[in-house]
Every structure is written in structure tokens, then in C-alpha cells.
């Protein structure tokens, strides 16, 4: 028997089926899914337009090498024009978020001829060596030969002064996910834009987690009125199918030559079909508006939860963090037994990343179960103190 290397703590659950905002375990128990595979099933499980596009593509062709065009990619490029920021007219497809970040960094190095990158404390950009180098948490970096990058304080205008003529790129999440769901301020992003313009550096927005409607706009940075030079997207864009991309301005890609990057599966016809179905869903269901509306309701319901264990509820759209005064581990376990899947962001933040499909009833369920799990935790603590 071959066993899986356990990089992630096992949650003790085997999932067998998913539909919309729900998943079922192998024993048939239903869960409301606010974990969504680290955010990847934001369009819900088995989004119908994605499933249809994939079925049609399976019957047509599953593989073409990147040297050939395929109809699926053509369709994809044409619909992406409807959702990408106006100046980001050059796209390359990858398979995962970390690969998109790798390519974003490579593009910035090539375009500027420089080597320095500024990232921010609390950042998470992936686990391959380039993206790991711009990821803050030592827990992920220790023991690996990462490149030395400089980290500024997130949302600090003083950190903007780190940008100078040696800097190839500044990389930032418009809403930090992994470090506890922390929205950037418009002023911070605007100042980064100004400094990058002044010093000829590329501004990279990593929208792998915050993008594609989750925060109430198609891209989280759009509510800050700032456009990047390079943007990365992944997770939910293919309705759960593995696909990511990098989008860039003309000046970033002008000097590129063949062989400077590539990917066997990047732009695979199935992945492009999934992305095509994902963009159709985003536009036809007006996912960002729905996310803004349901996010506001969820935020309100969570803020009304009465518990001494809650420090703060924050977030944007359907990307919400409940910062606790205690370790979130036992609470996540309790929520799972109550039929609600969620995830952590750091030691003390309960992260909720539900699909845009959640209803008002689901919102009530989330708030009720979170309140119940917090009460349970308080009684456990009370019992520990009494013994
Ligand atoms: C902002 C951000 N960038 C990059 C990544 C890496 O994506 P992947 O796990 O698909 O490689 C993540 C994953 O959580 C992320 O949140």
C-alpha cells in the first residue's frame, strides 16, 4: 500500500460527492462547504456551465501541446477579454497558483533586468522556490534554499520607501488570505503604484485567492482604483478544475523570447474549457454582486455572534476571517462534526470561504454553528479550569 505524504493535517473525512454549496462524506452525511478546497470551489461544486464545457471538450480533444492553438483556448482568450483589467491584454496559462506566481516573477525579472523583489509580511504566494521566496511565514520557508527578498509591513506607507531602482517587482495580495484575511487599503496600493511608476518596477497583484468575484468585485484590487502591471489568478477560475494564468501589460512581455518559459499542461484544452465555463458563470450569474450581497449578510450574522472568544470579524465579500483569542483547531473540528467545513488562516483565525451560491438559510446555519462551536470551546475551557 502506498501512502500519501502528509503535508496537510488529515481532517478525518473522506468526501464522496459535491453539489452547489454542499459536499457529502462517504457515509452520506451532508456538509455546508465554507472550505471549498482552499477556495477553489467558489463557483460551487459541479458548476453546470463548467461541467458542460468539460464534457464537450472531453469528446473533442484532451491534449494539444503548447505549440498548437486549440479552439478551447481561443474561446477562453476571447471571454477573458470581458473580465480582465483593461491594460492586461497578454495572458499565459498555467496549472496552479504557485506556477502563476513563478511566471509573474520571471516576467518582471526579464522586463526590468533587475533581481530584487519587495513582498509583505503575512504574504502567501505558494510553495515552489520562487513563490516560496516571497512568502512570509518561516513555517513554509525553513530548510529550503529560498532567494533573499525584502519584506515590508503590509498596509504601511513606510514600506513603500523600500521600492527603488534595484527593484524588479513588488508583489502583494489585495486581500491577504493565509495570514488571517486582511484587506489592503486603497491608499497602500495607490502608493505602491506610484512608487513602481517612479522607479520602473512591475507591480504584481496576486489575486489567486481574492480574485474572480470572491470579494464582491471581479478582482479585489478594482475597488481600490489601481491597476497592476501583472496579475495572477487561479483557485476558483476553472470551477474547481486545476488552471491558473498570468495576465500582463504590453511593456512586461515585449522583450520576451521563445523558450524563456513553457508548460506541458499549461493551456490544456480541458483546463481552458473549464475556465471558459467559469467565466460564463461569473458573468451570467453576476457572481461578484451576489458575493457582495451574501458576504455582507454573513459578515453581519457573524458580528452578531456573542462570544468572549471573538476578537474581530473582518474580510471582504465572501472571504471572511473570524479572529479568535484561542487556537482555532478544536473549533474547526467541532464545526466539522456540526456539518460545517471551514479552514484556518494562521493559528487563531477561522477562515470562511463559502461558494457564491450560499443562501440566507446557509448564512444563518454558519452563524448558528460558529456560535455553538465557540460555546463548546468555552465549556471545554471552563471544565479544564475546574479540574
Ligand atoms: C494568494 C495566493 N497565491 C498563491 C497561492 C498558491 O496557489 P496553489 O496552491 O494553487 O499553488 C495561494 C494558495 O493558497 C494563494 O492564496
Output the residue whose Cα is nearest ligand 1's atom 16.
209
pLDDT at 386: 64
Residue nearest to atom 10 of ligand 1 (CA): 97
Regarding the beta carbon of 173 and ligand 1, being less than 6 Å apart is answered: yes
* Pocket flag, ligand 1, residue 39 (CB < 6 Å): no
Q: What is the pLDDT of residue 387?
A: 61
Cell, residue 110: 526579464
Residue closest by Cα to atom 9 of ligand 1: 97
Assigned C-alpha cell, 54: 468539460
Cβ atoms of 111 and 254 within 8 Å: the answer is: yes
Yes or no: say if 212 and 236 are a contact pair by the CB < 8 Å rule: yes
Report the pLDDT value the prediction gives residue 384, as an integer from 0 to 100.
Answer: 72
Mean pLDDT by 10 residues, the chain (387 residues): 89 96 98 98 98 98 91 96 97 98 98 97 98 96 94 98 98 97 98 98 98 98 98 98 98 91 95 98 98 98 97 98 98 98 97 98 98 96 73
Cα 101 to ligand 1 centroid, rounded to whole Å = 8
Q: Which residue has the cell 473525512?
A: 13
Q: How far, in Å, from the CA of 234 to the mean position of ligand 1?
A: 7
CA 128 to each of CA 8, 78, 100, 101, 102: distance values in angstroms, whole numbers, following the listed order: 16, 30, 11, 9, 8
Q: Ligand 1 centre from 209 Cα, in Å?
A: 7
Residue 125 in contact with ligand 1 by CB distance below 6 A: yes
Specify the ligand 1 atom closest to the Cα of 176: 1
Which strands sit side by side in the sheet containing 116-120, from one edge to the other?
90-94, 244-248, 230-233, 202-206, 167-172, 116-120, 150-152
Buried-state track 351-386, b at ≥16 Cβ within 10 A, e below 16: bbbbbbbbeeebbebbbebbbebbebbeeeeeeeee
pTM above 0.75, yes or no: yes
Cβ of 266 below 6 Å from ligand 1: no
pLDDT at 8: 85
Q: In the numeric block, which cell numbers belong to residue 367?
A: 452563524
| Cβ-contact 345, 180 below 8 angstroms | yes
- Closest approach atom of ligand 1 to CA 96: 10
Amino acid at each position: 500500500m502506498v501512502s500519501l505524504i502528509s503535508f496537510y493535517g488529515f481532517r478525518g473525512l473522506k468526501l464522496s460527492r459535491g453539489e452547489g454549496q454542499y459536499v457529502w462524506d462517504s457515509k452520506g452525511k451532508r456538509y455546508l462547504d465554507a472550505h471549498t478546497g482552499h477556495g477553489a470551489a467558489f463557483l460551487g461544486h459541479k458548476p453546470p456551465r463548467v461541467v458542460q464545457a468539460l464534457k464537450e471538450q472531453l469528446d473533442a480533444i484532451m491534449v494539444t501541446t503548447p505549440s498548437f492553438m486549440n479552439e478551447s483556448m481561443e474561446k477562453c482568450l476571447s471571454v477573458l477579454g470581458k473580465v480582465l483589467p483593461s491594460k492586461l491584454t497578454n495572458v499565459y496559462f498555467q496549472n496552479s497558483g504557485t506556477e502563476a506566481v513563478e511566471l509573474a516573477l520571471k516576467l518582471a525579472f526579464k522586463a526590468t533586468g533587475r533581481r530584487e523583489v519587495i513582498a509583505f509580511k503575512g504574504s502567501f504566494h505558494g510553495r515552489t522556490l520562487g513563490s516560496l521566496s516571497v512568502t512570509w511565514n518561516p513555517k513554509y520557508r525553513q530548510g529550503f534554499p529560498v532567494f533573499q527578498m525584502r519584506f515590508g509591513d503590509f498596509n504601511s506607507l513606510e514600506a513603500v520607501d523600500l521600492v527603488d531602482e534595484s527593484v524588479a517587482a513588488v508583489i502583494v495580495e489585495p486581500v491577504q488570505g493565509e495570514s488571517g484575511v486582511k484587506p489592503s487599503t486603497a491608499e497602500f496600493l495607490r502608493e505602491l503604484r506610484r512608487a513602481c511608476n517612479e522607479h520602473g518596477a512591475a507591480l504584481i497583484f496576486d489575486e489567486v485567492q481574492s480574485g474572480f468575484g470572491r470579494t464582491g468585485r471581479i478582482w479585489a484590487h478594482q475597488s481600490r482604483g489601481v491597476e497592476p502591471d501583472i496579475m495572477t489568478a487561479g483557485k476558483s477560475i476553472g470551477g474547481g478544475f486545476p488552471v491558473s494564468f498570468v495576465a500582463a501589460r504590453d511593456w512586461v512581455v515585449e522583450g520576451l523570447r521563445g523558450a524563456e518559459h513553457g508548460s506541458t499542461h499549461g493551456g490544456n484544452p480541458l483546463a481552458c474549457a473549464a475556465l471558459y465555463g467559469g467565466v460564463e458563470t461569473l458573468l451570467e450569474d453576476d457572481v461578484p454582486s451576489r458575493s457582495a450581497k451574501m458576504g455582507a449578510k454573513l459578515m453581519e450574522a457573524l458580528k452578531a455572534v456573542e462570544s468572549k472568544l471573538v476578537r474581530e470579524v473582518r474580510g471582504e465579500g465572501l472571504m471572511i476571517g473570524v479572529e479568535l483569542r484561542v487556537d482555532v483547531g478544536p473549533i474547526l473540528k467541532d464545526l466539522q462534526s456540526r456539518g460545517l467545513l471551514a479552514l484556518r488562516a494562521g493559528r487563531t483565525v477561522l477562515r470562511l470561504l463559502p461558494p457564491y451560491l450560499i443562501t440566507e438559510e446557509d448564512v444563518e446555519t454558519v452563524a448558528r454553528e460558529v456560535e455553538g462551536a465557540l460555546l463548546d470551546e468555552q465549556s471545554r475551557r471552563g471544565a479544564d479550569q475546574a479540574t
